[in-house]
Structure 1
Amino acid sequence: MPRQSASLITALLTFVLVANLVPLMTVPTVLPDLQARWHLTAGQAGWIGSIYFAGYAIAAPILASLSDRIDGRWVLAGSSLAGAAASIAFGICADGFWLAFALRFVSGAAMAGVHMPGLKMLADRTLGPAQLRSAGIYTSSYALGNAGSALIAGVVQSLLDWRAPFVVGGIVTLLALPALALLRPAPRQAAKEETPAHPVMLRRNRALVAYIVGFAGNTWEVFAIRVWFVACLAWTLRLPGNDIDLPNLGVVSGLAALAGVPVSIAVAELAVRYRGSTVIVVTALLSVLVCLGLAATAGGNVFVVLALLVLLQVTSFADVGALGAGAVAATHAAERGRAFGIYATVGFASGFAGPAVVGLVLERLGGTESPDAWAGAFLVMGVGSAVTAAAVWFGRSDQRPSGGR
């Protein structure tokens, strides 16, 4: 049977990833409603917003390693079904903090069975420069799913109610199944490749460690701004002199996240063509500057704050494709499931912590109606990209990744 083209494989697996991401931003989009209806504190709201990533982090090493032993298509199919069920159940049954907390945990665990196993499947089916470009596109498409989730949730909520986005998100997730059916098994030689004499040992793989820590910094900032974007903008609009007409704020957040997709793909391409570590460091430092700008202008002019919020959605995500491609290049084919499991676990543990810590900072510094609290929140977000820049800079190699191993 002839090998499927890299472009078709990338398109199918990217669609599977994006379809599974549709429920992701449902909670952040409707968070103000949930806080009002369920009388949630800022800390509780932060936990509901971030527990998804804890579920991901806990399940990632198990499900990513499982894709080393069985056909990854089964891992992705089962995880897609579980994610769809959890999202639909949230929309129908959730009535308070604890049930919402549990269902979002399941949703995150299900996503762990799609994201990195999908990247492994992509890497196993592509070679050379096409492998790195495909990995950059696939990982960058996370923002496409993120943005699509916020857009769909915002539109559906405005037409129906806060529960409907969860049900719709679960239904869209099921569309991943026919796409998986079109994907052929991995080439036999990739499945039988022998484990190298020196398996992945983090202390011996400086490049992989740098990308793992860099991804952790990235997810800290990305998910913190994704979870708190709507709440911050809603507060800013309530301030005197800041009342302007905007679409549903979930739609605004989604459009801002969507702008990050082509930027992330472009940054990943620059990292393939030039020295990837330098590209990532410059991008991360730019995002730190945007966080500092938001901290300085919190509670100020709505046009300035809105522009910086949108810019942070873009800059925080801009290096994710380059980080993913770098991680692919730093691992051997026979080790990818385990290596990507570590990459995802550390990254999404940080993604879980980021929104929760921001929520606690907001609560301790005066709540979501305090400019000082929001200033502190953006300083905490900026720590993520600062860590990314430092990790990649100190873990840099003199050689550009070649991929295809």
Structure 2
Amino acid sequence: MLLTQVLSIMGFACYAASLTLIQTEWHLSHFESGFLASSFFLGYVAIVPLATTLTDKIDTRQIYLSGGIAAGLGLFGMGFLASGFHDAWIYLMLHGAGISATYMPGLKIISDRVKIGEVTRHISFYTAFFGIGAASSYFISGLLIESHGWRYAFMVTSIGPTLAGILAWVGTQKLPHEKSLWDVHFEMSDIFPLQRWKKVLAVKEATGYMLGYAAHSLELFASRSWLVAFFTYCATVASPDNAFPMTATVIATMINLIGVPASIVGNEMALRIGRHRWVYWIMIGSAISGIALGAAVHMHWSILLILALLHSIFIMADSATLTAGLVISVPQDIKGSAMGLHSVLGFGGGLLGPAIFGAVLDITRLLHSDSWIPAYASIVVWGLLFIFYTQFSVWKTRRSHQS
């Protein structure tokens, strides 16, 4: 499943790696470019409630296979058919819808089958491998774009999620209680399981982790979507004696890779000092490092790289902690629905993040200011708001019970 995780998101960073090229070719504003990045998450949020709720009812491998095929079709359509903003968002949305049927269902496949050891460690490795997949996507996309153009990159990377779906199907076995997709009666409650979501939200501990995941995902996916564009801009305005020694996509690959150990080590630290305390400190560090990165546009490339790596470490250090905390805080019978709501809120944040970042870039440049600082501030502030809210509301109840 770790291999399928990497393959499933082979095309995840293809748009981010080609954003500046597509923006120039189609004459897009920063907001339009950001909205296209958000289209992936629009598709994800639209389908993930159904995909994850059905994991409590049917063979999860069938969901994963369907998602892999849909994601592949979205990527191929973007490369082969897209002709402008008006239709590109549809293909990117299809890609996101497909990934929604692989990411959390893949985690469900693992959590239902692994019964030994500390379950949060298995979860932390799975979520960390998202970073490996994203890094691979940046690197592969960058090579393909440089050699054959962005359309070719989308078409080639469409192979990844399709292959992931096939491997998940043949590499894992159906559980005795799981039914076939064709043997299950579907209801509207399967798409929007409001009653089951109410049960999830009644667990205040779980609610806190989901809100934290929303703030985390907004910052993560906004920064990832604009990372290549940010370093491309920095390289453009750099003086001749401050030339960047590597391409923006290679830098993005490095930044994503550093997030892998950060996520795993972060979960271990959370087990030792407490999840709440760990999440709070990490979100504060992420906010500080994010604004510092936005302010460092004209600094030496080595300082920029260090700040970007530091920001990535802080962003990813609570990723596994938030998801693992959610999984172990809800009863088994609503775990699939809990994962679905977790994804809706998290990737809902991912939906807003890139568009917010792009809109702030447009607005501040109209005001003739250095726009990267407010752009980064607009995505890190949500973590600080989460800390303030949970300190006095959601997690306050649990602390009073423990005292």
TM-score by length of 2: 0.88
For the structure 1 residues 126 and 74, does the alpha-carbon distance in structure 2 shift closer, same or farther, using more than 3 Å as the test? same
Q: 1:207 aligns with which of 205, 209, 214?
A: 205
Distance 1:309 1:230 in 2: 11
For the structure 1 residues 170 and 292, does the alpha-carbon distance in structure 2 shift closer, same or farther, using more than 3 Å as the test? same
Q: Where does 1:233-382 land on structure 2 (aligned, <5 Å)?
A: 233-241=231-239, 243-366=242-365, 372-382=370-380
Q: Where does 1:3-402 land on structure 2 (aligned, <5 Å)?
A: 12=1, 14-127=2-115, 129-176=117-164, 177-186=166-175, 188=177, 201-241=199-239, 243-366=242-365, 372-390=370-388, 393=391, 395-396=394-395, 397=398
Q: Which deviations, in whole Å up to 9, do the C-alpha atoms of 1:68-95 show, x marking residues without a partner?
A: 1110000000110111111112111112
Distance 1:74 1:41 in 2: 39
Q: Structure 1 residue 389: deviation in Å?
A: 3.7
Does the Cα contact within 8 Å between 1:52 and 1:109 map onto a contact in 2?
A: yes
- For 1:127, what is the secondary structure of its paired residue? coil
Which consecutive unaligned segments of at least 5 residues does structure 2 have?
181-195
Q: Structure 1 residue 304: deviation in Å?
A: 2.5
Does the Cα contact within 8 Å between 1:19 and 1:175 map onto a contact in 2?
A: yes
Distance 1:84 1:136 in 2: 26
Distance 1:155 1:388 in 2: 38
Q: Structure 1 residue 274: deviation in Å?
A: 3.7
Q: Which deviations, in whole Å up to 9, do the C-alpha atoms of 1:216-274 show, x marking residues without a partner?
A: 00001000110111111111112152651333311210221111101111111222344
**What one-letter code is carried by the residue in structure 1 that aligns with 2:262?**
V
Residue range with higher mean Cα deviation, 121-130 or 222-231: 121-130
**Alignment match, 1:4:** none
Q: Structure 1 residue 340: deviation in Å?
A: 0.8
Distance 1:315 1:267 in 2: 9
Distance 1:134 1:143 in 2: 15
**Alignment match, 1:7:** none
Distance 2:269 2:173 in 1: 31
Distance 1:170 1:99 in 2: 18
Query: What is the aligned residue count?
Result: 382
Q: Percent identity?
A: 26
Q: Which deviations, in whole Å up to 9, do the C-alpha atoms of 1:70-122 show, x marking residues without a partner?
A: 10000000110111111112111112112211100011111111111111222
